[in-house]
Amino acid sequence: MNWIARSWSRIAGIPARSLARRLAARFSHDSYDGIALLLGDATLEKDATRYFEFTREALAAAAARAPKSYAALRKDVRSIVMWAGPPRPPYHPLQLAAIVPADVALGSDVLCYAAWLLYASGLSRSEQHALARAQELLDALEPDQRRRVGESLGGLRSGPDNVP
């Protein structure tokens, strides 16, 4: 992405980020390492504490096992929003947000969720970057963990060459 496109996305994202801050004021919210953890709607309020704890664990696992990818995630993601509505793309460029389906945020294990977050953050650049970010985490895992986590990403990744 060139500097003009980056500048435009920052300028155009100002109203979207302002809206996100107003939503955060209405619902429970938290943060981890400068990344806002938000709820997408009031129906998720009952799961807020579990979501915040689980997301912090997943981000800590990503930082420990894939430090380069985690550093890149921190540059590209300002907020992680748990979403229970209709499916959305995993990365919102104007809000600089990872939009996490509730079943991923609450129903996977820490390593699968960490890989998902790294993958989603890489979509800020391209699918190739997304795969590379997740791959750093996969490379740090034991073979059985790598297979399990890779399979959890299978729905996001395409082609037989992408299965670890």
Number of domains in the chain: 1
CB 45 within 8 A of CB 27: yes
pLDDT for the residue numbered 4: 46
Q: What is the pTM of this model?
A: 0.78
**Domain limits for position 75:** 3-162
Specify the DSSP element, H or E, that contains 82: strand 79-83
Mean pLDDT by runs of 10 across the 164 residues of the chain is: 45 49 67 93 92 97 97 95 86 87 90 95 91 95 93 61 35
Rounded-to-integer distance, Cα 20 and Cα 79, Å: 9
pLDDT for the residue numbered 66: 97
Type of residue at 52: F
